[in-house]
Structure 1
Amino acid sequence: MFSFQNKKAVVTGGGSGIGKAIAVALAQKGAEVHILEMDARRANQTVSEITLQGLKAVAHQCNVAIQSEVEQVFEKIGAVHVLVNNAGIAHVGRADNTSEEDFDRIMNVNVKGVYNCIRAVIPQLRKSNGGVILNMASIAALVGLADRFAYSTAKGAVKAMTMSVAKDYLHENIRCISISPARVHTPFVDGFLVENYGDNQIEMFEKLSKSQPIGRMANPEEIGYLALYLCSDEASFITGVDYPIDGGFTTLNN
């Protein structure tokens, strides 16, 4: 089950965290994984971890916010079966204290970057007679989160794009789905705590963990396993839907 033998997958932002976990999970099931990353060092580290297991992976340095770069990389990769739009950046702030510069930066990566990759992958999916686009949304697209104005706006757009793409390419055997995680324990979270709560990291980690009713953050691998299923042939009846993976955050926090 969940075999990706003879399939090619692209994972953006696959150098760390959720993207890395998804890339590893796909490779372990036989996919040839192509990792798109701004940070070449991180991309190469993930590729090394995968290839040391005797599996297939290739790194591509790419800024997903620049359409010409994205198109060149996808043309180089050729026909693919899976695209995972995971690359994204975070921002803390409300509407009245979010600068235009920060808002544009979030939109360029988290919205335009997803659009650029979808636009570039459609011709490559057609060469494979269809496939899957999996977008990383967030619970921020589903519920109100304090101090996450620009980020929530961007993730809401990702969810909407998912539904639009699923509808438009339904009859070309191209499925489109999104995942909406709650907090996931990634290097980003650790860095955020160091930067903002230097003397109070342990207490804040516990507070962030317990904001999920299940009492902890997700592990990146748990997101990776859901992604693996949704991109597999076993999930061929699933399209045009968002999957919260949130420890009960969106339903049990009343």
Structure 2
Amino acid sequence: MQIEAGQLAVLTGGGTGIGRALALQLSAQGVHLALCDVSAAAMAETRSLCLAAAPAGTRVSTCVADVSDEQAVLAFRDAVRAEHAADHIHLLFNNAGTAGGGSFVTGGRADWERTFNVDWFGVYFCARAFLPLLVASPVGCIVNVSSVNGFWASLGPDVPHTAYSAAKFAVKGFTEALLTDLRVNAPHVGCVLVMPGHVGTSIALNTYDARQLTPEQVAVMRARMVKAGAPVADLPDDAIRQLMHQRAIDFRDKAPTTADQAATTILDAVRTDRWRVLVGDDAQRLDAMVRADPEAAYEPAFAAAWRDANTPRG
């Protein structure tokens, strides 16, 4: 699909990370944007950055909306139609996401369902709300952001990761099923499945502030770190909190792929009509490893091989 000035793109999670990078690249080309996020401040900053570099006349609207709430999504859709005087859109990026909900067995139900609802139902509700506007367009594309955890439900053999992985598997399956559904019922609309590896975003920082962890949560983190061999058994709780906070910062700042690089990869896929997009060399390596031996993918030896494959040499 050609991405052209004057088109209208709807983008969830537009306040930070890949969402902001997509917004900047699209608006620089003169694409009008309708952004939603849970943070009004982050979106205001994105909007300001976009307008500063966009061609004159480029519109950027914002709406505070939690994509796990269908009524909020419908209100966002209605705002898009009103603010852009639009009866159709050209691009829908289902990018909003959150982390959390690690253990189904021992974790709290509220945290688990919050993660699953944002990461899966956010995609579902937005697709339901905006797909008719895509179908009404002469040409359109829906871009759904899954994850490498959409084909490998793991952070390692000792770290439960059920809510996020289950949601991202659902996004992957839904998008692959849409290929046939759209080909049969709306062949002028394409879809793209995005599976990023480690991209430098603030998802960990945005999910929760580790400095506010309860004593019970600290105990869980401490036990996990001790099991992994970290010498933290005797550290005070505040030291554990600061370690976790620093890990979230390092996840953003020391990633092998930047958000801008990820956005470029995604938009190149839209332009070249590629439906399956692995973002980052680490995503490519992991995909090959899982496909080569799927039954071993959740064994300790696989995780060790994966860590070794991603350890810098020299």
Q: Which runs of 4+ in 1 moved over 4 A?
A: 189-209
In the alignment, does 2:224 pair up with 1:185?
Answer: no
May I ask how many residue pairs the two structures share in their alignment?
244
- Work out whether residues 193 and 201 of structure 1, in 8 Å CA contact, stay in contact via their aligned partners in 2: no
User: What is the TM-score when the length of structure 2 is the normalising length?
Assistant: 0.69
CA distance in 1, matches of 2:128, 2:98: 20
Distance 1:119 1:188 in 2: 25
* Structure-1 separation of matches of 2:195 and 2:179: 16
Distance 1:54 1:198, change over 3 A: same
1:23 aligns with 2:23: yes
User: Which deviates the most, 136-145 or 66-75?
Assistant: 66-75
Distance 1:112 1:68 in 2: 12
1:119-198 aligned within 5 A: 119-146=128-155, 147-171=160-184, 172=186, 173-189=188-204, 195=211, 198=241
Within the candidate set 201, 222, 229, 2:268 is matched to 229
Among the aligned pairs, what percent are the same residue?
A: 24
Paired residues of 1:142 and 1:156 also in contact (CA < 8 A): yes
Larger radius of gyration: 2
- Secondary structure at the aligned position of 1:97 is classed as coil
User: What is the alpha-carbon root mean square deviation over aligned residues?
Assistant: 2.8
- Checking the alignment, whether the CA contact within 8 Å between 1:12 and 1:84 is kept in structure 2 is yes
TM-score by length of 1: 0.84
**Contact conserved, 2:99 with 2:204, CA < 8 A, in 1?**
no
Secondary structure (helix, strand or coil) at the match of 2:193 reads strand
Q: Which residue of 2 aligns with 1:212?
A: none
1:54/1:216 CA distance change after superposition, 3 Å: closer
* Aligned 8 A contact 1:84 1:134 in 2: yes
Aligned to 2:257: 218
Instruction: Return 5+ residue gaps in structure 1 as ranges.
Output: 210-214
Task: Tell whether 2:104 aligns with 1:104.
Answer: no
In the alignment, does 2:51 pair up with 1:51?
yes
Does structure 2 conserve the Cα–Cα contact (< 8 Å) formed by 1:193 and 1:205?
Answer: no
Q: Distance in 1 between matches of 2:258 and 2:111?
A: 28
Contact 2:27 2:54 in 1 (8 A): no
1:179 partner SS = strand
Residue 67 of structure 1 corresponds to 70
Q: Deviations over 1:40-72 (max 9, x none)?
A: 111111001111224432111112122222223
Aligned twin of 2:279: 245
The aligned residue for residue 14 of structure 1 is 14
Partner Cα separation in structure 1 for residue 6 and residue 190 of structure 2: 19
Does the residue aligned with 1:176 lie in a helix, a strand or coil? Answer: strand
- The alpha carbon displacement at 1:92 in A equals 5.3
Contact 2:16 2:46 (C-alpha < 8 Å) held by counterparts: yes
Q: 1:82 to 1:206 in 2, by over 3 A?
A: closer
Give 5+ residue unaligned stretches, structure 2. 81-85, 212-220, 222-239, 290-305, 310-314
- Aligned partners of 1:82 and 1:231 also within 8 Å: no
Do the aligned residues in 2 keep the contact of 1:2 with 1:29 (CA within 8 Å)?
A: no
